Amino acid sequence: MITSFRIISYLEGISYLLILFVTMPLKYIFESPEPNKIIGMAHGFLFLGYIVVAILIKTEKKWDTKTLAIVLICSIIPFGTFWMDKKYLR
């Protein structure tokens, strides 16, 4: 389960960065919203998967509520999932 969570967290982090630095500029500067729709949908599924698996992993890793909260907050901070992987999953 930890390996799956690491994969989901990396993919979620990458999709978030793609939205922020690639598809949003394409949407608002170049008026091309299609990439944002595609990457945005993938990111949405990955985000939900991240949240669900983080909650499931809480008991396996023996996280307290504060640690779980930090892990969940990392999903909305750019580069947060990468930091979370090094801090809490290794």
pLDDT tens digit sequence for 3-62: 999 999 999 999 999 999 999 999 999 999 999 999 999 999 999 999 999 999 999 999
Whether 90 has a pLDDT exceeding 90, the answer reads no
Considering the chain, what is the average pLDDT of its residues?
95
φ, ψ (nearest 5 deg) of residue 30 = -105, 5
Contact 4, 60 (CB under 8 A): no
- At position 19, the amino acid (one-letter code) is I
pTM of the model: 0.91
Rounded to a whole number of angstroms, the distance between the first and last alpha carbons of the chain is: 13
Contact 13, 79 (CB under 8 A): yes
Contact 83, 74 (CB under 8 A): yes
